[in-house]
């Protein structure tokens, strides 16, 4: 038996790569913040080397409606743990399917007006597993993918060996059509896109995309991760709001953002769901979601379907926040969604402003840097929700006004993002 004495080159590789990442100002640091369920969006930050915590108001949560702290949702999780235990105990096939799983899939199918639904352990996995499985099913698939699609969709598309990927310009239907025209008529085609693009906050033309899909006989796959729970009369997403859910073949969503819990899903026709249930590796070979998570998600989806007030309140809060930013002269990018990006323009500035917001003003806004967004368009991404008060908004606007003036753009940064302001 030989014993390896030499240092494996991967260790040096990691050191060098990390040094490069640090140099570019995109080394990832996490800010541990403990959410206070009864005071959302207030969190507690533990101060280093002390037992003392301090209050922080979070402005970047994706629990857009605060469903993750709803007492009914939390109680559903707690009683499911008491009744069924902490974990699922197996894959869906191996004793990991409870009546709760079936009920949630039925509820999600109804939410989107589809025949069937299928749960995955996360939204990421639902995209990766579904797209990869579909695009390796028949020979010759061509996937038309929006340039700004999420990493999880890209992982599924790239992982589909044997298929061809054609990237079309973001939300550009003329470019999509030009690319569809150029493709062989008989090839099986799929158009993969999102409804709300979470970093820019723009919304795709779903009806227009579906019209092209019909014209060129393409299947449509939409990621509604940042829209489910928030748009449409019952929270069915932009497809519901625009009355086009029936035109989209596969609607994918998460239970972790607008529904505030955890997990991912797709809804589609019975045979597509049955096929993915029977063949998608990322569905089959992993322990299913714990009953507590499924029970909480089911309670959340039911509440969100039935009650409009949180959606309405969230949009009112977003508008109020924008009005306050506007009147204080703080730049932000106007979007047709609930997302409020504040352009910052370079990674270091973004990090410094985010850190100073936290240290000096007790507010948290995540810095969004490359590779999540292109260089020069670094930003803070704010998501006002139903529980952000006017006072919290005034504090945030005042802090941003000071820091955006005080912290200069580095010489390497561009000013392009700053000119996007509303
Ligand atoms: C567009 C999009 N799709 C999918 C996901 C993955 O969803 P989840 O967080 O449930 O894994 C995300 C996560 O942020 C996302 O932004």
Q: Which residues pair with 287 in a beta bridge?
A: 91
Q: Half-sphere exposure (CA, 13 Å, Cβ side) for 328? A: 21
Q: Is 127 in the pocket of ligand 1 (CB under 6 A)?
A: yes
Give the model's pLDDT for residue 1: 58
Query: What phi and psi, each to the nearest 5 degrees, are found at residue 13?
Result: -55, -45
DSSP summary character for residue 287: B
Q: Is 223 in the pocket of ligand 1 (CB under 6 A)?
A: yes
Residue nearest to atom 10 of ligand 1 (CA): 123
Q: Is 262 in the pocket of ligand 1 (CB under 6 A)?
A: no
- For the entire predicted model, the pTM comes to 0.94
Cα 225 to middle of ligand 1, angstroms = 6
Q: Half-sphere exposure (CA, 13 Å, Cβ side) for 359? A: 8
Query: DSSP readout, 169-182?
Result: -TT-HHHHHHHHHH
Query: DSSP readout, 295-326?
Result: HHHHHHHHHHHH--HHHHHHHHHHHHHHHHHH
Q: Is 152 in the pocket of ligand 1 (CB under 6 A)?
A: yes
Task: Tell me the best of 123, 145, 261 to mutate to test the pocket of ligand 1, counting ligand atoms within 8 Å of each CB and taking the most.
Answer: 123
Which DSSP helix (H) or strand (E) runs through 252?
Answer: strand 250-254
Chain-centroid distance, C-alpha 228: 10
Please report the atom of ligand 1 found closest to the CA of residue 125.
11
Q: Which residue has the tokens 């952000």?
A: 388
Please report the atom of ligand 1 found closest to the CA of residue 255.
10
Query: Which residue stretches of the chain have pLDDT < 70?
Result: 1-3, 410-422
Give the model's pLDDT for residue 414: 41
Cα 45 to middle of ligand 1, angstroms = 25
* Catalytic residue numbers, as ranges: 257
DSSP summary character for residue 408: P
Burial of 36 (0-12, 13-18, 19+ CB in 10 A): middle
Query: DSSP readout, 153-166?
Result: HHHHHHT-TT-EEE
């Amino acid at each position: 038996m030989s014993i390896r004495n030499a240092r494996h080159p991967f260790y040096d590789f990691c050191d060098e790569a990390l040094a490069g990442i640090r140099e570019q100002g995109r080394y990832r640091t996490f800010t541990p913040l403990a959410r206070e369920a009864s005071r959302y969006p207030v969190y507690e930050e533990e101060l280093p080397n002390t037992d003392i915590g301090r209050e922080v108001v979070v402005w970047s949560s994706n629990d857009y409606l605060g469903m993750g702290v709803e007492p009914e949702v939390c109680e559903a999780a707690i009683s499911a743990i008491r009744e069924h235990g902490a974990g699922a105990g197996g894959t869906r096939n191996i004793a990991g399917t409870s009546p709760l799983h079936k009920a949630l899939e039925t509820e999600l199918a109804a939410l989107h007006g589809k025949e069937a639904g299928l749960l995955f352990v996360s939204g990421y996995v639902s995209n990766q597993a579904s797209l990869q499985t579909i695009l390796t099913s028949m020979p010759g698939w061509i996937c038309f993918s929006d340039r700004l699609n999420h990493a999880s969709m890209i992982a599924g598309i790239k992982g589909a060996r044997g298929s061809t990927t054609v990237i079309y310009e973001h939300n550009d239907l003329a470019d999509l059509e030009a690319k569809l025209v150029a493709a062989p008529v008989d090839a099986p085609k799929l158009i993969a896109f999102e409804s709300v693009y979470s970093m820019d906050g723009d919304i795709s033309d779903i009806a227009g995309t579906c019209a092209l899909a019909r014209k060129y006989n393409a299947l449509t796959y939409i990621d509604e991760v940042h829209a489910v729970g928030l748009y449409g009369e019952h929270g069915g997403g932009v497809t519901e709001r625009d009355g086009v859910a029936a035109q989209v073949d596969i609607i994918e969503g998460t239970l972790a953002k607008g529904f505030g819990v955890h997990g991912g899903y797709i809804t589609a026709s019975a045979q597509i769901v049955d096929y993915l249930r029977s063949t998608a590796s990322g569905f089959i070979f992993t322990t299913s979601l714990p009953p507590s998570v499924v029970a909480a998600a089911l309670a959340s989806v039911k509440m969100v379907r039935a009650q409009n007030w949180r959606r309405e309140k969230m949009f009112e809060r977003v508008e109020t926040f924008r009005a306050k930013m506007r009147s204080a002269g703080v730049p932000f990018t106007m979007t047709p969604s609930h997302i409020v990006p504040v352009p910052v323009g370079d990674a270091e500035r973004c990090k410094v402003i985010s850190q100073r917001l936290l240290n000096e003003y007790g507010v948290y806004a995540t810095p969004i840097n490359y590779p999540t967004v292109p260089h020069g368009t670094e930003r803070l991404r704010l998501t006002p929700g139903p529980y952000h008060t006017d006072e919290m908004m005034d504090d945030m606007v005042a802090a941003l006004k000071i820091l955006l003036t005080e912290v200069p753009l580095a010489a390497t940064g561009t000013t392009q993002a700053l000119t996007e302001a509303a």
